[in-house]
Amino acid sequence: MTWAASFPAIIADEFQIAKADFLIDGEIVGEEYHAFDLLELDGDDLRGRTYQERYLHLMNLLALFYHPHISLVKFAYLPSEKQEMFNRLKAQNKEGVVFKRSDAIYTVGRPNSGGPQLKHKFHETASFIVAKVNGKRSVALTVFDRDKVVPVGNVTIPPNHEVPQVGAIVEVRYLYAYRGGSIFQPVYLGLRDDIRSEECTVDQLKYKAEPAREEAA
């Protein structure tokens, strides 16, 4: 098995215990890997099978070994289960949910880019470049506006994360952004090693709606 150099060693060690050859689709948050799809297993390409089948294989694979830092993303099938999960995750202030067709084969691309899956966000997220390491576990964030570098405020780094270095790309959750200003209520989510700095642009940002101005009589 192989993984990126930035893959946390503690997660890689747990995957080694599985004694199997596989390709999992998931997301790293801090030192936890959230697994949500299984593409290959011991030479068998599962991409052409339905998501429901792939999820069952993934569930069975993860049941074979101890993995405290690898979690299986929860799956809801019935409408009542989906509504309950949706309400619970929103009340817990989670990032959002992804809806997938259970009979869909695997397709490349992020949710909302087309295809049989849709992501519903409870908050906005964006990728930023670390411009400066401040005191008290805080970093300054920037994005590109064409050929200009634009500051968008600071974010505090939680104790369970290492403070990122200048130039690192990080993912941050926020409520909204002010035009010409900073992001509001930022929450640090972790490093991003799958995108380039050129992709960290102002086009990602969702701005607070400005109140309509009344015309003078």
What's the CATH number of domain 9-121, 3.40.50.2000, 3.30.70.100, 1.10.760.10, 3.30.470.30?
3.30.470.30
CB 128 within 8 A of CB 169: yes
pLDDT single digits (tens) 182-195 = 999 899 999 998 88
pLDDT single digits (tens) 4-37 = 556 778 888 888 888 889 999 988 877 888 999 9
* The model's pTM: 0.58
For the segment 126-134, the average pLDDT, to the nearest whole number, is: 96
In terms of CATH architecture, what is 124-204? Beta Barrel (2.40)
Of 20-24, 91-95, 198-202, the one with minimum mean pLDDT is 91-95
Quickly count: other Cβ atoms within 10 Å of residue 135's Cβ.
5
CB 171 within 8 A of CB 195: no
Domain range summary for the chain, segments of one domain joined by +: 9-121, 124-204
**What's the maximum distance between 2 C-alpha atoms anywhere in the chain?**
76
| β-strand partners of 157 | none
Quickly count: other Cβ atoms within 10 Å of residue 142's Cβ.
18
Between 184 and 120, whose confidence is greater?
A: 184
Burial 143-175 (b: 16+ CB within 10 A, else e): bbeeeeeeebbebebeeebeebeeebbbbbbbe
How far apart CA 86 and CA 84 sit, in angstroms, is 5
Give the three-class secondary structure for 134: strand
